[in-house]
């Protein structure tokens, strides 16, 4: 199945200049000298303001409740050390240039495919996120109803995705989409950080998945988690050469968890970190061949011309260690 982001697809995009992906999930990163550093917060709690602006059906107080619930969901990941604090309402919109972290609605009718977006101010010498802003596009219909509301996007779900970006996570490719007359829509996903939102009315994306938890734990993992988590390292090759941009999915046979990563080097090497120790099936597939820049700045380098394959060895991820020499060969389409 080809997965293509069509013109009518609703994309929860990230606005972040010069943010190449780091290993897996993706994490957002930036070039500092000759090295790539991940974008992440160094100081907690993350103090955020909510714009005092209502949209039909959603009051500012309800925005704050939905946003706080989304922050709390990330904060509650037991294997990560995150905390956040609501600092108050503000008349400032999230797209205005301030030194505060602001989340709220903006009317952006020209962004017909964007439900929400996140922008950052970072220390370019360290990658530390100094502040970040999230806007929700009031061009769309929104809901904060506990069980969702037909025809309206669930604010808490979209906030959960954008706050993942706010914490430094990029997009996950764990999902399947479908091409139809109106463009692409998502059939299913394995991560809140998948770039296309579920249909209006759904509240299924209020819950983090294993891929999201692995990603955030890789960035902000507790010391205990880092001592016990394992990883898989290997290469993806085609005709003897490394494959750049292959999507690698690790499936834990015991827990059923799915965690994705990418080969992000010219030699096709990859690392999927922050995995529970256990036995894994590894599956390699090409990334969707449209809207690759939703995942990579350098989309032209991404190789999508190979067939999905399941690696013919089971992978034992050790406690606190790395399963190495996982060399997957794919065949051209």
Partner 1 sequence: MRRIAAVALACWGLAAVAAAQAPAAGRLELDAGVVWTASNGLGAASADLTRNPSTGPGPFTLFETRSELGGAVGAHATLGIWITPRWSIEGDVQFSRPTLRTHVSGDAEGAPDVTATVPLSQYLIGGSAVFQWSPGRRTVPYLAAGASYVRQLEHDDQLLQTGRELHVGGGVRVWFSSAHRIGLRAAARVSFPHGGISFQSGHHPVASGGLSVAYRF
Span 221-250, contacts to partner 1 by CB under 8 A: 249
Q: How far is the CB of 205 from partner 1 (least distance, A)?
A: 8
- Rounded CA-CA distance 50/47 in Å is 10
> Applying CB under 8 A, which of residues 49, 120, 136, 198 lies at the interface with partner 1?
198
Contact call for residues 28 and 22 (beta carbons, < 8 A): yes
Contact region with partner 1 (CB under 8 A), list: 13-21, 119-127, 261-269, 272-280: 272-280
Contact region with partner 1 (CB under 8 A), list: 11-19, 30-38, 60-68, 197-205: 197-205
Asked whether position 332 contacts partner 1 by CB under 8 A, the answer is no
212 conformational bin, left if phi > 0, alpha if psi -120 to 50, beta if neither:
alpha
DSSP-derived secondary structure letter, 79: T
Asked whether position 313 contacts partner 1 by CB under 8 A, the answer is yes
Comparing CA positions, the residue from 167, 195, 169, 162 lying closest to residue 23 is: 169
- Rounded CA-CA distance 281/272 in Å is 13
Asked whether position 314 contacts partner 1 by CB under 8 A, the answer is yes
Strand partners, 258: 251
Q: How far is the CB of 258 from partner 1 (least distance, A)?
A: 6
Asked whether position 258 contacts partner 1 by CB under 8 A, the answer is yes
- Rounded CA-CA distance 185/238 in Å is 30
Asked whether position 215 contacts partner 1 by CB under 8 A, the answer is no
Tell me whether residue 36 or residue 309 sits nearer to partner 1 (CB atom): 309
The encoded tokens of residue 56 equal 């039909």
Asked whether position 202 contacts partner 1 by CB under 8 A, the answer is yes
Asked whether position 188 contacts partner 1 by CB under 8 A, the answer is yes
The total number of residues written for the chain in this structure: 333
Q: What is the helix (H) or strand (E) element at residue 227, kind and residue range? A: helix 223-228
- Rounded CA-CA distance 28/154 in Å is 25
Asked whether position 311 contacts partner 1 by CB under 8 A, the answer is yes
Contact region with partner 1 (CB under 8 A), list: 5-13, 133-141, 157-165, 182-190: 182-190
How many residues line the site for partner 1 (CB under 8 A)? 45
CA torsion, ordered 169, 175, 178, 179, to nearest 10 deg = 40
- Rounded CA-CA distance 82/118 in Å is 18
Comparing CA positions, the residue from 189, 139, 187, 196 lying closest to residue 5 is: 196
Tell me whether residue 38 or residue 235 sits nearer to partner 1 (CB atom): 235
Asked whether position 68 contacts partner 1 by CB under 8 A, the answer is no
Asked whether position 107 contacts partner 1 by CB under 8 A, the answer is no
Asked whether position 77 contacts partner 1 by CB under 8 A, the answer is no
Contact call for residues 157 and 207 (beta carbons, < 8 A): no
Contact call for residues 249 and 174 (beta carbons, < 8 A): yes
> Applying CB under 8 A, which of residues 276, 285, 291, 303 lies at the interface with partner 1?
285
Q: How far is the CB of 11 from partner 1 (least distance, A)?
A: 14
Q: How far is the CB of 202 from partner 1 (least distance, A)?
A: 5
DSSP-derived secondary structure letter, 83: -
Binding residues for partner 1, rule: CB under 8 A, are 1, 174-176, 178, 185-190, 198-199, 201-202, 204-205, 209, 249, 251, 253-254, 256, 258, 277-279, 281, 283, 285, 307-319, 321, 323
């Amino acid at each position: 199945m080809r997965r293509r982001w069509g013109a009518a697809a609703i994309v929860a995009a990230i606005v972040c200049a010069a943010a190449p992906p780091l290993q897996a999930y993706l994490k957002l990163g930036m070039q500092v000298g000759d090295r790539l550093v991940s974008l992440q917060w160094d100081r907690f709690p993350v103090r955020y303001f909510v714009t005092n602006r209502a949209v039909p059906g959603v009051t500012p107080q309800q925005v704050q409740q939905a946003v706080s619930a989304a922050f709390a969901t990330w904060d509650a990941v037991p294997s990560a050390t995150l905390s956040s604090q609501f600092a108050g309402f503000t008349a400032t919109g999230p797209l205005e240039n301030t030194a505060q972290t602001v989340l709220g609605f903006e009317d952006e009718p020209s962004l017909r495919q964007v439900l929400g977006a996140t922008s950052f101010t970072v220390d370019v010498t360290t990658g530390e996120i100094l502040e970040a802003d999230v806007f929700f596009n009031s061009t769309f219909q929104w809901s904060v109803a506990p069980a969702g509301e037909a025809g309206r996007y669930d604010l808490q779900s979209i906030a959960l995705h954008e706050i993942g970006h706010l914490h430094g996570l990029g997009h996950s490719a764990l999902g399947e989409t479908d091409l139809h007359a109106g463009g692409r829509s998502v059939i299913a996903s394995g991560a809140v950080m998948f770039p296309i939102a579920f249909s209006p009315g759904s509240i299924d994306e209020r819950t983090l998945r294993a891929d999201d938890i692995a990603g955030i734990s890789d960035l902000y993992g507790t010391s205990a988690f880092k001592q016990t988590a394992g990883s898989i390292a290997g290469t993806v090759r085609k005709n003897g050469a490394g494959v750049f941009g292959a999507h690698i999915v690790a499936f834990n046979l015991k827990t059923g968890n799915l965690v994705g990563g990418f080969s992000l080097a010219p030699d096709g090497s990859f690392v999927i970190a922050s995995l529970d120790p256990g036995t894994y099936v590894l599956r390699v597939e090409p990334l969707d061949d449209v809207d690759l820049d939703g995942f990579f700045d350098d989309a032209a380098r991404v190789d999508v011309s190979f067939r999905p394959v399941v690696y013919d060895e089971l992978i034992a991820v050790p406690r606190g260690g790395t399963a190495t020499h996982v060399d997957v060969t794919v065949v051209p389409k």
